[in-house]
Structure 1
Amino acid sequence: MSKAKKMMDIGSKMSFGNISADRRAPGGADSETRGSYSLSSLKDAEEKPEQIVRIDISYLEMAPDEWNFYPKLEGEEFLKLVKSIYEHGLLHPVVIRKQGERHVILSGHNRVRAFMHIKNELEEIRNGRNSGLLEMRDDSAIDPSEYDQIMAVIKEGITDDEAREIIIDANYVQRQLGQKLMTRSIIEKYRIIQQRRKNADDEKYKNIKTREIVAREFKLSGRHIDRYKKLESLDSRMLDEFYEGRLSLELAAKLAGLRPEVQSYISGRYLKEVEKYPARTLASLKPSLCKSDIDRIMRDIRYDSDHMKISVREDGRSRSFTVEDPELMEKIKQLLIEHANDNIE
């Protein structure tokens, strides 16, 4: 058998979606997948079954870290994927970019790792060692070579940006992304679409904004895409606070609209106040603000937070009171809450 034939065979008897095969599929229910592929760069691959082949895993390369900035599944999460693949078979082929003799994984890095893990476990069992993962009662059924190859969609003739887009789309569909990965995914996707629009005369890019294309594919609003895009300009310390959930997306995007020196000033002097009083801060921010404006705004916010202004109407006249004592302010708040509850009931 030639090298090319050994490396890759057409999977003519295997279809995906409802798995059917001429033998038990050595793959998984893909527990890393949160839904079927729906983004455009993946959709074409799954709609062309003639492109699905069985490929030797030893020929596959991982995508560069710059492209695949998503962390590998580890620990219990990875073991769940391994068990699912071993028990249920491979529901989705991996996606591979073929460029000359190179075969780079674009979607399915964890599934390939799971195949390799299962093969190693089976070899351990065959050699008489215990495996904490797989329970095999019939030693004759153990065949590690079943996991030498994996079903794959081969993509040829695609650009680097198209390859990167497949990686982004796959991870967006398959995983629950935290804010840091979500932000980078949207920014990278936006850059790719924007560049494609500049280089293409395709009518589908006419009369539609880049943010609307990204929003449609990620199933988010255009406003959300704009806010994530603005985070490219956000001070690094405040960006970390956003990633940790201490700043909302709306507030982080508003802060990103300030001049860099003003952002640094807020980050160094007022970040705790911004996090403590997000609504007041959000309402006060404007792109034109300078450092002295920030000082004034924060003084006002601090003053208002330390005082309570009460207006009382009596005998047709209004009287205003300012309460500064924290204990008294708390009592008044409790009375107002109780009174409101009485009215509701």
Structure 2
Amino acid sequence: MKVRLQDQALSEGFAKMRVCRPSDIEHAAGRLVEFVNKGYHGQMGWMAERMEWRGDPSALWPEARSVIMLAELYTPDHDPMAILKQKDRGAISVYAQNRDYHDLVKKRLKRVGRWLLEQAEGEQIKVFVDTAPVMEKPLAQAAGLGWQGKHTNLLARDLGNWFFLGAIFTTVEIEPDTAEIDHCGSCRACLDICPTDAFPAPYKLDARRCISYLTIEHKGPVDTELREKLGNHIYGCDDCLAVCPWNKFAADARDIRYAARDDLANPKLSELAILDDAGFRAKFSGSPIKRIGRNRFVRNVLYAIGNSAIPALQPTALILCDDMDETVADAARWATERLEHAQ
């Protein structure tokens, strides 16, 4: 059953499959409590909710006997760091340069799950893709899919770290795999590259300083001290992923829908800043970027404009100084002042 299940998962497009028990992440609950107690979760209040489910998958669904963890590759075919030198362009995280991975991975998971139910009549499944109180990364390490590196993301010796995680909880008893061990060694590349010093220590992340958090999850103005450190990141950040040496073994993405759209690979800041709500929704239809809304996105673009040191972008910022959204207007005024100093 397990061998055939793995063959089915690979035929559906997943790159790797491993299995663990729901009870195999006994240390996760304590680490989550420490993370929340230190306030590292910032405005992500949902991380503090139902912590008993996150820390103990058995509490989420007591009937589950196995957790099938799957890796979905989205490896870029270009250097994600190159755009950081193009100050008139916005850097969008690789995973968000085309279709929303939630939709693609979940459909693939459901197809694998349906196949499993056909083989094991009377059993049940639940599929999760980053949308429930499930700690996918500890489960993936417990299953042997990879390990959580010093940047807290999952990586694998045969995949690098450019992959999404999907989980299938099931009542079917499936033989578990051996947990993966840490292979980071003395490497500090991911820690040293972080522009905002978001890692208080190896394997620990203060999300309040993480560019991905600040540009996606954080609502309202970003602290002035951090704005200039955002550079031209306008949605997410790949710096710590891009420098990982294990990426030399990364395999190519199998789904063309993860390939960067031409207009999102290196978009012009001047064109993104003037998007109204309708224009924003149209441009990012089917994209994970759509969920943060026009105001938060334009706020990010204006921070990038302020960091560009390109006086020609000042008129774009000036137009938005009286925007109806006060956070956008604040970002526009900040960008305008920064460009005046640059000039």
TM-score range, shorter chain: under 0.3
* TM-score normalised according to structure 2 size: 0.24
* TM-score normalised according to structure 1 size: 0.24
Higher helix share: 1
Larger-Rg structure:
1
Larger RCO: 1 or 2 (CA < 8 Å, sep 6+): 2
